[in-house]
Structure 1
Amino acid sequence: MKTEDFASKWAVVMTVSEPSELVLANVAHHLTYGASEIFVYLDTPDAELEAVLAAHPACHVALCDAAYWQVQHGMKKSPARHTRRQTLNADQAAKTTQAAWLLNIDADEFLWCESLFADILTTVPESAGWIKLRPWERRRDAGSADGLFDGRFLGLAVQPSESPLTDGGFTGHVVGKACVRTGRGYALTLHNPRIGPVSDKNIPKSFENDSAFLLHFDGLTPLHWASKLLRRAEKGPEYVRNNYRGKRLRQIYLAAQTCGDPASLAKLQNEVTYILPERAEVLTGEGRLRTLDLQIPQALNTQFSNEVIDLTTQHFDKKIALLLDQLHARVAALGDVWGVGK
């Protein structure tokens, strides 16, 4: 392989516990965008998804069961924190990939570039160990019936948010994610790499190009957003307090408090993730609202042409509803332990 070809090769790694439609859409998007390999670590079993991914020549898939953690990492059980599992899996992928760069993301994050990402990577100076990808967060128009991947994308505000449930207008992370050079021995924590032990917080020099960023779907549907919060809440208030801060902590507390009241939970989701027409007009004028077409159906047809993949919100929410019923029961079984999220 020519050196210049290797320098522009990039791969993706993700640790997932999501419906197969989202995972396959993510994989198809990044392969179509030019990723040379995709490493998918299944945090929960999904035999059908595992088989589909394993059949694709550019995909590497691993089920993160007890045997996996024992054999691959010498651990008696899975690490409790999902961020730790993500880091360990990304570190393993970095050691085996044939690409010069590795993008460590969640299943609900999609790279967007205004030029070829490979071309952008060749402009990164050798002194920089990673490229920082800022997030833009998906927003649904109030009262719309958008599809799973429709909607517009909001840019981060400089001024503080008016809502205690957002930060710079975002319900999710504001830091962004990292595409990291392989072969340098970095620890691949989710938002930035580290030199040496993660606890030292020694972050290598980064590079940024405004034409490359991440589109973050913090909940493809209202039910999906609720399930993300309740999956955290089911671990109990002590775990939540120890692992979350600020807006996400308050979101989890409110979701836990209203999990038995679907109307209140829907009102909470609408409050923080829907956008009114008049507000959309202002944000568009400020350059903070973009309309982008990811062309997910086309990407799926290109990468998984033998699969029939239903991208309707009705089908997706039917899957999520089954999970939500279980989450509601588990969170309710914890009792009245939440109080007010601080």
Structure 2
Amino acid sequence: MLLTVSTVLDSRANVEHFVRSNLAMGIDHMVVFLDGPGAPGQREVRDWLETVPQVTAVPCDRSWWNGERPRSLNVRQRANANIVASILADQPWATWVFHLDGDEVFAGDRAVLETVPQETGAVWLTPLEAVSQLEPQGWPTRFKRLLEPDDLHLLEVLGMLSEPANRDYFHGHVKGKSGVRPSSGLRLTLHEAVHPDGQVAPRAEDPALAVLHYDAISGEEFIRKWTAMLGAGPAQYRQNRATVADALRALVGKDLSPEAARRYLLRIYETTTQDDVATLDELGLLVHRDPTQGTHRPEPLGAEQQGVLADGLARMAREPKRHFSIAAHAPRPPEPAPRWWERAGRRRDRDRG
């Protein structure tokens, strides 16, 4: 059974897309921590989540944090993810737990996931980033993939990148997301699988294991997301995103009318985030994914499994949580270990032949 854990503060429409898409694309159960249960609109989000049997909703109110709510969103995210991994550590039915944000959708081939050797405790999902347009028609189905140097140089020469690097091409993260076998004892950061001491763990990789990232799919979503992020407390950003955050803080601090503030916010969006979708499409650099076409039928939790999760969360609600927030302390190993997918691919080819 595949599970996700997320810490979310978003609109009901976005949360519905997040939940329905993940369940359609291969996830069986989702644990959703509501980061601001008292914020406007969050009661409606919680009420809807509680109608979905494949979701366990956890309001992160004062009682959850026992009066010790970490200021940093990243700390809260890591703590919540590892609480769930810890609860499920002795549950053989919980095969994988993935740490996803509320704007991310699992897009992995479950058949490939089943070929990961049992002794391998972590897998990586390569990022695919949804294109960003000022006023898109519905949820985007075209995604940017990580590019090789030749294509990055092409985009640089065309004036579409300031440097030939995926971190400049992607507006969101390029680190992907990780999943762990809870039984492995490994823990989760925002992007990595780590040992309890924070050392980065070896992970299995395969091109068929991916995560869809809807970072800022429109001008309106750019404004909403960055406003929410800046209000969620301290967070770590890579350099180009930190620059955007600093610029937005400076703008918010100006004594501007709402109309003027919105005009400048959209100007920042257009200069930092909007994609030239037509050019990227013509150059063959985009891939198509549509989670609404997913056909997965989630495996339901049985009464005993529901009890394990509910009892574990109730127990954890009474405990301090900072020690669950583990940060990575070592660089990513140069090679994924083991490189099992090449052997698995050859086996699949032989079977088809």
What TM-score do the two structures reach when normalised by structure 2?
Answer: 0.69
Unaligned runs of 5+ in 1: 1-8, 71-75, 304-342
Structure 1 segment 112-191 matched on structure 2, within 5 A: 112-113=107-108, 117-141=109-133, 145-147=136-138, 149-159=139-149, 162-163=161-162, 167-191=167-191
- Residue 350 of structure 2 corresponds to none
> How much has 1:90 moved relative to structure 2?
1.1
SS in 2 for 1:57: coil
- Residue 205 of structure 2 corresponds to 208
SS in 1 for 2:167: coil
Give the aligned residue type for 2:145: G
- Residue 262 of structure 1 corresponds to 262
Q: Distance in 2 between the 1:90 and 1:235 partners? A: 17
> How much has 1:153 moved relative to structure 2?
0.7
- Residue 3 of structure 1 corresponds to none
Unaligned runs of 5+ in 2: 299-353
> How much has 1:233 moved relative to structure 2?
3.8
Q: Distance in 2 between the 1:206 and 1:219 partners? A: 28
- Residue 61 of structure 1 corresponds to 57
1:141-167 Cα deviation digits (max 9, x unpaired): 57x6421x1252111234477348982
Overall identity of the aligned pairs, in %: 25
- Residue 317 of structure 1 corresponds to none
- Residue 85 of structure 2 corresponds to 94
- Residue 48 of structure 2 corresponds to 52
Give the aligned residue type for 1:83: N
Q: Distance in 2 between the 1:282 and 1:157 partners? A: 15
1:233-270 Cα deviation digits (max 9, x unpaired): 4578xx56xx3331110111222233443222212212
SS in 2 for 1:90: helix
SS in 2 for 1:12: strand
Instruction: Quickly say closer, same or farther: Cα 1:158–1:263, change in 2 above 3 A.
Output: farther
Instruction: Quickly say closer, same or farther: Cα 1:57–1:151, change in 2 above 3 A.
Output: closer
SS in 1 for 2:193: coil
> How much has 1:280 moved relative to structure 2?
2.0
Give the aligned residue type for 1:252: A
- Residue 73 of structure 1 corresponds to none
1:29-86 Cα deviation digits (max 9, x unpaired): 222223221100000112222222223222111100110122xxxxx32111111111
Instruction: Quickly say closer, same or farther: Cα 1:232–1:14, change in 2 above 3 A.
Output: closer
> How much has 1:281 moved relative to structure 2?
4.0
Contact 2:3/2:94 (8 A) holds in 1: yes
Instruction: Quickly say closer, same or farther: Cα 1:280–1:34, change in 2 above 3 A.
Output: closer
Match of 1:223 among 220, 228, 250: 220
- Residue 283 of structure 1 corresponds to 283
Give the aligned residue type for 1:105: L
Q: Aligned pair count? A: 272
Contact 1:128/1:204 (8 A) holds in 2: no
Q: Distance in 1 between the 2:166 and 2:107 partners? A: 23
- Residue 246 of structure 1 corresponds to 239
Q: Distance in 2 between the 1:229 and 1:267 partners? A: 14
- Residue 110 of structure 1 corresponds to 105
Instruction: Quickly say closer, same or farther: Cα 1:126–1:171, change in 2 above 3 A.
Output: same
- Residue 310 of structure 2 corresponds to none
1:271-320 Cα deviation digits (max 9, x unpaired): 33333355224531xxx311322217x98xx99xxxxxxxxxxxxxxxxx
What TM-score do the two structures reach when normalised by structure 1?
Answer: 0.71
Structure 1 segment 10-49 matched on structure 2, within 5 A: 10-45=2-37, 46-49=42-45
Structure 1 segment 278-317 matched on structure 2, within 5 A: 279-284=279-284, 288-295=285-292
Runs of 4+ in 1 over 6 A off after TM superposition: none
Compute the RMSD of aligned alpha carbons: 2.7
Contact 1:132/1:208 (8 A) holds in 2: yes
1:74-120 Cα deviation digits (max 9, x unpaired): xx32111111111111112123344110011001011224xxx3312
SS in 2 for 1:18: coil
Which gives a bigger RCO, structure 1 or 2 (Cα 8 Å, sep 6+)? 2
Q: Name whichever of 162-171 and 36-45 sits farther off.
A: 162-171
Give the aligned residue type for 2:105: F
